[in-house]
Structure 1
Amino acid sequence: VSADNKAFAVTLVLSGGCLAAFAGPEIAQAAKGAFGDENRTYLGAFLAVAAFNILNALFVGAVHFPEASAPPKPSPGEQESEEQQEVGKHHNQDGTTILGLLTRRQFWVPAMIAMFSWAIMVMPMSIVRIAMQQLGYSSRESLLTVELHSLGMFCPGFVTANLINNLGALRVSGLAVVMFVLATTVSMLSTESTSVATWMFALVALGIGWNFGFSSATVLLTHAYACAPSFKPKVQAANDFVMFLLAGSFIFSTGYIYEAGGSSLAGWRTVNTVVFGMIGIMALIVLGEMVLQQRERSERSDKSTDQTYASGGIDDEQV
């Protein structure tokens, strides 16, 4: 994918979930209880998941990617030693190392934005049906809420690319923070007496925030290996490891946080209080990166001006 189309490609792939937003929950609901045994209530749903995973593996296996262009082979008199070849696996031509890339701000900022986007989105989503049912909402109402949330996650992919191209990936990350604040505020105000539309609005806004945050973080990550494209697979793998390890840890704790809050409405608000804390940390990361980038641009501008004066490009009497 060309550099100009990276943002479009990332968001287009995410948009493939628009159909799954409704198909997935409905298939799971239909498959639940398919065996008619109270001890195997969810067996049908898990078998459906397994079947779709197999289909997914078959489709992915059918994709053929163009082979990467191989580097020119050295002449017989320039054969590299085994030691040089081993060093080449961990160093780029300009001396950049994979460890050096992974310790840079350009890696950790998008990795943290992506991680918090996942954790902030999944924690309320994973517990919302339980909370709604305990507050008296019907199974169909809670299911529709999750379906609309999933639609909110993937449908913005059709416009997120344009937002990233026009505003910049970091500003779109800022929009993600705004959407998360809006969603969590509405979630905190939702009770058993509020309209189900309130819950739906909160979860849709949460999904949109995730789309903005994850898409922009994925585009920002490309800057981490721009100076050493050969390290792209390793940087992507490290990002996924950090993102899903930390986000998974938060997600795993959601049930305990919900129960610690007292379940029902109290537990729901406790989960969202924790989410508010994560949003605050994510906001600090995004704002901090904006400040640092602005400072770097100012320094480059000052150096450029100094060089222009030094080269005689501007007459002091004209200033």
Structure 2
Amino acid sequence: MGIVEKTFHDSISASEQQKTVSRNVRVLTAAQSLGGASSPIIISLGGLVGQQLATDPAAATLPVSMLNLGLALGTLPAAVIMRRFGRRAGYLLGATTGMTAGLIATLGIIQASFVVFCIGTFMAGLYSAYVQSYRFAATDGLIGAERDRAISRVMIGGLVAAVIGPQLVIWTRDALPGHTFAGSFLSQAALAMLAIPILLALRRPQSVGSGPAKTTDGRPLFQILASPRYLLAVATGVVSYGLMTFIMTAAPLAMVGHGHSVGSAALGIQWHVLAMFGPSFITGRLMARFGKERVAAVGLLLIGASALVALGGMNIAHFWGALILLGLGWNFGFIGATAMVADCHTPSERGKAQGANDFVVFGTVACASFFAGSLLHTSGWTTVNWLVLPTVAFILVPLVWRAARLPKSN
């Protein structure tokens, strides 16, 4: 009878564990839909508000760069906070930071203060550091293909965010009379506030836990960093996200500079964002069938193909085609890299391993956003795209080498 009772108890525990994990994935997908909308609002409006408030026209894009800088600098502190106090506590702090960021940015517009506005976008970057880790949190309590599919499902929230952000810009830009765009940043604060009750529903899976971890458990960070498998996973994420940001930042300027309208440039970016998140419905299944390394390798090939299309001409079809391929490549490359990182650490090591990964990836993104505009101005769109090809090849070769030595499902 004791054995029967134990078996029954284990069955109930497994069932409850599965319910908790499934619930968390839904919670994180919803939170991603709200938190992920913050960045598109700033990317869409940061430069325009900067033109209104900055005394130096060259500083107009600084608010967007401050967003990326805040994201890069916020990754390690966010990892430490979540490791010490748990994911839910960290995410609630992040959402509160996001709400404060929107209010400060709104205040900057109302007071016509460029400095205050930049502080608001920087704090929005700190919030984004938490949002970016939602994809890792979805893997808590999961193994193998289930973990890969969970990452992909949470990234679907980015597709919703890509629609919510621009629509809020349109609906609320004139909500505060006499202060154009202030309403849009007030709506950014409202989205972060709406995420708080959703994040309160996050629970700690029994087998892994999203609560505090012992600081003495697991390998030291330098030992994790010395692992070739981990380094390849991080490098794949760096190239996928860094090149995407690099090209996406330069593309609208290049399109307008080659005689295309601002509306055409905006439409190209919209198709690009849809291509970034649309495949998330199937990326998890593709990784389960073919392996995450193979999917990531295809992503890098698509990013390389986008550069070749861009080098083919300056017609609108070349720009749009390149941006769509770039979005698809980012999806396969970055989600594949995320799943690769999740395979490289134990549960007790997740905070430092994931935090170090995001610090390197988003630090590169920040540098790319600062560098893309100046390189385009000095060297041109063709040079920007030629630089993509050797960068892709540098990571693609070891990635393909590893993928060839793995079974199709890994």
Shift of 1:91: 4.3
What is residue 269 of structure 1 aligned with on the other side? 382
Deviations 1:248-284 (A, max 9, x none): 22232111111111xxxxx222222222232122223
d(CA) in 1 for partners of 2:208, 2:250:
49
Gaps (5+ residues) in structure 2? Answer: 1-140
- Based on CA coordinates, which of the two structures has the bigger radius of gyration? 1
Residue deviations 1:138-190 (CA, integer Å, cap 9, x gap): 22221111111111000101111111111111111110121111111111223
CA distance in 2, matches of 1:284, 1:108: 14
What is residue 284 of structure 1 aligned with on the other side? Answer: 397
Answering whether residue 142 of structure 2 is matched by residue 2 of structure 1, we say: yes
How many angstroms does 1:17 deviate by? 2.1
**Does structure 1 conserve the Cα–Cα contact (< 8 Å) formed by 2:252 and 2:266?**
yes
Structure 2 CA distance for partners of 1:155 and 1:271, relative to 1, 3 Å: same
Q: CA 1:164–1:69 in structure 2 vs 1: closer, same or farther (change >3 Å)?
A: closer
Picking from 222, 244, 254, the partner of 1:121 is 244
Match of 1:258 among 361, 376, 384: 376
In structure 2, relative to structure 1, the CA distance for the partners of 1:160 and 1:283 (3 Å cut) is same
Give the match for residue 162 of structure 2: 21
User: Aligned partners of 1:258, 1:164: CA distance in 2, in Å?
Assistant: 35
Select which of 65, 70, 89 maps to 2:203.
65
Residues 249/288 of structure 1: CA separation in 2 closer, same or farther (3 Å cut) = farther
Shift of 1:101: 2.0
2:302, 2:332 → 1: CA distance? 9
Contact 1:188/1:272, CA 8 A, preserved across alignment: yes
> In the alignment, which residue of structure 1 is the partner of 2:324?
204
Asked whether 1:130 is paired with 2:253, we answer yes
- CA distance in 2 between counterparts of 1:126 and 1:33 reads 26
Matching residue's letter, 1:216: G
Quick check: 2:272–2:326 contact (8 Å CA) kept in 1? yes
- Spell out the pairing of 1:62-211 with structure 2 (5 A cutoff): 62-66=200-204, 68=206, 89-92=215-218, 96-191=219-314, 194=315, 196-211=316-331
Question: Displacement of 1:133 after TM fit?
Answer: 1.9
8 Å CA contact retained: 1:25, 1:147: no
Contact preservation (8 Å) 2:292, 2:336:
yes
Q: Partners in 2 of 1:99 and 1:242 — Cα distance?
A: 14
The Cα RMSD (Å) is 2.7
1:75-104 per-position Cα deviation (integer Å, ceiling 9, x unaligned) = xxxxxxxxxxxxx73344xxx444322221
- Aligned residue type for 2:337: A
1:243 paired residue number: 361
CA distance in 1, matches of 2:377, 2:197: 40
Uncovered stretches (5+) of structure 1, i.e. residues with no partner: 72-87, 262-266, 298-319
Q: For each residue in 1:49-71, what CA deviation from the matched residue of structure 2 results, as whole angstroms up to 9, or x when unmatched? A: 44434434x25532322265699
Find the counterpart in structure 1 of residue 99 from structure 2: none
Query: What is the alpha-carbon distance in structure 2 between the residues aligned to residue 258 and residue 33 of structure 1?
Result: 33
2:199 partner letter: G
In structure 2, C-alpha distance between the alignment counterparts of 1:204 and 1:115, rounded to whole Å? 19
- Residue matched to 2:350: 232
Q: What residue in structure 1 maps to residue 334 of structure 2?
A: 214
Kindly provide the amino acid, as one letter, of the partner of residue 25 in structure 1: P
Task: Supply the distance in 2 between the matched residues of 1:98 and 1:60 (Cα, whole angstroms).
Answer: 32
- Residues 70 and 161 of structure 1: CA distance in aligned 2, closer, same or farther (over 3 Å): closer
- What is the alpha-carbon distance in structure 2 between the residues aligned to residue 190 and residue 198 of structure 1? 6
Supply the distance in 2 between the matched residues of 1:127 and 1:246 (Cα, whole angstroms).
Answer: 16
Q: More deviation in 60-69 or 132-141?
A: 60-69
C-alpha displacement of 1:127: 2.2
1:42 shift after superposition: 5.2
Taking the aligned partners of 2:263 and 2:208, their CA distance within structure 1 comes to: 55
8 Å Cα contact 1:124-1:271 kept in structure 2:
yes
Secondary structure of the 2:215 match is: helix
CA shift in 2, pair 1:254/1:215, >3 Å = same
Change (3 A) 1:148 1:257: same
What is residue 313 of structure 1 aligned with on the other side?
none
Sequence identity of aligned pairs in percent?
26
